[in-house]
Homo-oligomer: A and B are copies of this chain.
Amino acid sequence: MAVTLKEVAERAGVSQSAVSRAYTEGASVSSKTRKKVEKAALELGYSPSLIARSLATSRTSLIGLVANNFQNPVFLEVFDLFTRALQERGLRPLLVNLSDETDPQHSVRMLKQYSVDGVVVASSTLPPVFAKAFKDAGVPVVHAFGRISSDVDIHVVGIDNRRSGEMAVETLLQHGYRSIAFLGGPESSSSAQDRGAGFLDGLKKAGLVPADMRYADDYTYDAGKVVMNALLDEKKVDAVFCGDDLICMGAMDAARGRGINIPEELGFIGFNDMKMSEWEAYGLTTVRQPTRDIILSSVDLVVSMVNDHERTPEKRLFPCTIVERQTLKSV
């Protein structure tokens, strides 16, 4: 069907090896041969078969993106960045959906089957044991949005969630709030835990105690609303730090539903700075996470691991910044 290397070789009057080498970076070919090959290839409309190459080299040029959260709009940006970055390098992005997955071994089998050259795990809710299992199975892994303090020896690129949580609290304090609650993502997620810890750090430094701390069941609007309503039923606070913008929006709507005035009676600060956070209906003050840096850096890293599986695990951190909008009262 398609043109093969063999035909090109015949037409160019060279050996198959010559043609193959003409297409391999850094191979030893004279420019004369290369010219001949290029000419023949052009005339025939040849382009090498990735599949055959994969079989011979055991490199597939497939890089997996494993995710387990297809609710959060932040991931749209992740998908976009990831696919572009790979496409630019001539690599192919494979999507691995691990929603509802609980068995690391099952995932490992799947990954093996997929025969990816490497994966970036983009999730802060997927238990670290998954990334670990992938690594043990011999698949290069980088954990984007992962936990830096993770004890397992895995590449992590992300942010300092603890420090960022502290920054959020500092911002709240600067704006004059004192009775502050934390509304995190699912308690099982490392990012929720770390942001919560940072929240406590920040309060402690100011000599304050938390007004309340709770965790939503999911990184979703609905979960945010539910947990905020529960909070409002029990406590009176003057500001809340939400571990995610989506949760924060749910929480804000819960508060508004009770006629509470934002930001005068109740201030909000979120996390992520997703696109919608600047929508006028919310105008969320939030901690901006540098998604772009994280994904691009993750791709760099996983690509470099393909050539050097034994690369020693790195933790790459990017700084967060505060984006001030309208959910905090002015001082």
Point out residues on A near B: beta carbons under 8 Å.
1, 47, 49-52, 54-55, 58, 60, 62, 65, 70-73, 75-77, 79-80, 82-84, 87, 90, 92-97, 99, 109-110, 112-115, 221, 249, 252-253, 256-257, 275-276, 279-282
Contact = CB atoms under 8 A, between A and B. Distances in A.
Contacts of A82: 95
Tally of this chain's copies:
2
Contact of A55 (B51, B90, B221, B276): B51
B71 A275 contact: yes
A25 to B, nearest CB: 16
Contacts of A80: 70, 97, 99
Nearest to A75: B76
A50 B113 contact: yes
Nearest to A221: B279
Contacts of A97: 79-80, 83-84, 87, 93
A221 B52 contact: no
A96 B91 CA distance: 11
Contacts of A47: 109, 112-113
A58 B4 CA distance: 13
Given A1-B58, A83-B95, A221-B276, 7 more contacts: A47-B113, A52-B55, A73-B76, A83-B96, A92-B94, A94-B95, A253-B279
A48 to B, nearest CB: 9
B275 A253 contact: no
A95 B54 CA distance: 19
Contact of A71 (B76, B90, B279): B76
